[in-house]
Structure 1
């Protein structure tokens, strides 16, 4: 049958109640789920009368049966419990040890409730005697037994029928008529179906214990039975058994200590892991315990069992160090497996926490699997402590690797942040951005968010607790801020260079970023103020860290104190009233101060000194340009020339030929002027202009003459072509007249 009867020994021959075994049995058959819908069937009878055989055929159990070839011998020892297979409702079967003694067959009244119990007597090896005659004789014997059984005063006159329903049946001989026996058993089996229904074998349900309380009820019944039994043995029998069993046990222990197989196994364990350790050790222990059992077989069971337990305990104490050494080998092997598996898993880019869990589970599973090869049957030793130590070792290694990986990950993102912020921040200070700090804050925010996003994704595989995760995020943000702060302080150390570069860029270039030419028309003072204002704005930007976008008055203070120039009306005013005579800025925390007001004042003073030369050079260039571009003589010279040259002027007016010659010379001179770009050449200086004109004058004149000659030649050719076209035009109509 597919269903398991789960046979379990409930009470052993020493009358010990198997509490754990009963609990396992009840869980296996799930009795607690049946409530009151279950029945209990027990069988009593003489030893070797076929009780177990009958139960096995009736209920599909697998109780141990007597071997007919070995003769009559006791097979069932104590009480066994099982579940009937294929029987509805759930039926619990009790197979009791056989007895021929009357005292073991008597039932005590205190164990029975007013609920009727069915006593079904099965007569084996039925003969030709009618069943009715056998039943009558059996009932008379049962009544006689009932009359002799001690009963409490309240039940002195109680009839047997008030407690029991007595039924009798008979079966053919199993050995002689096996097929008929099985047929009759099958018919009898039908009576146990629906046994708890009204009129069934267990139809009286009064006082039925719920299935969930079955274990407690059975234990209490057995307790009552034991309290009413006197099994004390004579003192001399116990003494002899004690002395002799102890001598045999000591002898077996000495033999075990010097056993070659054990010594070889112990040496192998010290050298390394031994395959089949538990099996080999069990074999050695079984051999000596079996010898002890054979030599103490006829002594008192209680004494020899106690001494056997002592022998087993001492033997286990002897072999325990080897067992512990084997566990140590298993732990080392499992730990090495975890380390290697974790390394390979991380190389394949799997999440750290998932890798740790997977590798740890695999290592612990290997440890547990190999422990089954180490465990021995004679001891309830477990590997819980070694396994716990293995778990601690795994956690420690995982924590170490996690620390290294987190450090590497942190360093990687710190490097990315450094690369993303340092150069751009430096370039922002080199550029002419209108609001440097707005650009820095946007750069800082953008790059930090990108880094935090990537960092968060990378940390997801570590499955950190929220507090640790938040701390690492905060640390990265602080690092990014620190990078910006350090770079700003570094650039602040070069603030004077930056200011001069910014001043030079604005001062020496126009709005189109073209190099400025000092022609004398430029307002040098205004340009100087604009360039200094830009440099001052840069100084104000570098004076404090403004990553938090908190407004301050640094630029206004510097502008009012340095650009406008403090007008000292009363030199007796104390220096403390100077806004720059301080080491802190108003509204700026000391940790955000980069350049103090006093330092700004000193830097500005040095800046003005070092840029004065550039301004003076610009003024000198203007004066030189004006001097080089003054072609007209003074006004008094012009008036003198006009008076003295009046006669010559009148002569030109009277003679048109002279005027035409002068006009042609004027035109040629203008052409040469623009061809040689004389005004542009002299802007670079008189000497350089003369040298450039001298080298280009003759080629330019020749080029002008060639162009004039070319133009004249083209006009001449055009005139000739127009004259030739006139005759051909006149002949065309005549040639087109039609013939007559």
Structure 2
């Protein structure tokens, strides 16, 4: 087989790229860095990502890049073609030593184009001999990663099986069916045949027809998978054919054709542009190192290579990386919301801020992840969105909680302010305060609810409405109690004085007047209650209960007033006043002046009997309504016994009060008797003359001494006034009564102290308490007064006779 040696010379063409005859003689500044992607030990390089980003500047290229690979026999000028075509720096064979130069697979970037070129180790090399394992592996790898496969061959090799690399192409076809058999018509690879050293004797069309016929024959001879028996070669491959002149014999024409061929790789407007969308492997450049490494691992482990699966795995890996990076930034940005929300504050514009931060995270994810497998990208995007929403939901709920608290405080404050206003209606105030609080909560809740979430504030809104209702109910009870308290005060004020006046004028119509006062007051209070109850939105049942309670409360106030007016002291005062009115004053209301001839006993007995008849009147409240002519009644309850409330004085108390009154009335009788005696006793005239003569010196001494004069005036003037008004007897009676009561109290205290002292002494020193005679066995002081006054009266009557 004739082989034209590769001899590299610097071209004089302006756009030519210098050949690299020896790596040591290359100019590294003018050429792109290269990477030994898979070495001769079939080990994949871990530096691909670094070269892509740092050395070749494709880190942000995304899908805007392409991959091409070159196939061909060893020492056919593949590396030389790539160096001149793309400006790479692959090693080429030295003319002095024809031996393998490309070992494994090298990769570099085309100069001034976003194209990655892989220089694949040549076939039929004597170094590997019959070992075609790497040949198949490299073909499988190139087919999985490249969009365009450049097949480099000599013109004189066309029509030959081995020389034209038909064995290699058979391997390529088998690999293609393995990789893309399930994507018939969807995944295609372009085979670009570059026929070298074309002298023009055989037209390109004839050469391409020959190659097509050979390819079709190889394709039909393949053992195809089940279901793909009728598939065509064009379902998986597109073909392009071009020629290049002889590099040594026609150097200038060679350089011109290389420049024209370069346009197919760099100019999308060229009609023969090779990087069409249907050839793309849809692998973003930032994930190429992972994708290519995964492909090679599968190849090395002899596992079935499923490119769609590999693309999905790559997409999952890269999408997770991109999502984690975006989410880390997202978490850092939302930290600022935690403290104010946890301390109960409302974060202003929280919704727009959360939406902006979430949107930035999703946008960052979309920017890089959208290049990968569509289904994986969508799934990972949804996962990230859910993860972000889940984290933001905590702030959403925290903000809702703070909005709930502030809405409750707002409701309470506004309600209190509204109720302080004059003429405020509770129901109107509650409705206005509730509307404002709910509007505030709903406005804040809607502002923080983000799109693409299933967040809901219905439960919080329901809890808020329940809370406001409970607060309003409690406040209504409070205001109702306040209103009822005011009504109770008003009832007390309206009942106390009129009922007191009615009870101070006892008589047959006394209880009728009391019931009339009660009915009138309750009726006025009920009207006021109904007027105010309408402002509380009370239903009929509640109004009826309040009305019944109002009547009972008014009745309780009435009975309390009756009890106050029915204590012993007040009863005795009422009886004494009535007795004085009947005994000391005549029918015309004038004071009586008793004369010796007047009958005192009959008026006394009449007045006392009429007064005593009033005591049973106070025994029980008579509920007969004088207006309606029927008895007034209230329904009893568990804590209210209407019948029991009617009882005022028991039998024993009536008897006790009657007895005390009779004793007090005796004093009036004695006073009247003494006044008659005092008017009958006359002092002789000579006694006055003797007093003047004998007391003249003392009289002069008193007049001249201011102290004596003042004391005499202070004592004498009141005595003269009382004597003139005939009140000396009354004063004496009161003084004796006070003395008796004081004496009794002192004796009781003395007995208590003596009994206590005996109880504190040890048992051996205790004595039996002395038995004192009961005071109740003593004769009535008024009886002794009667006897004494009777004796005095009889003796006085004898003297007067």
TM tier relative to shorter chain:
0.3 to 0.5
What is the TM-score when the length of structure 1 is the normalising length? 0.44
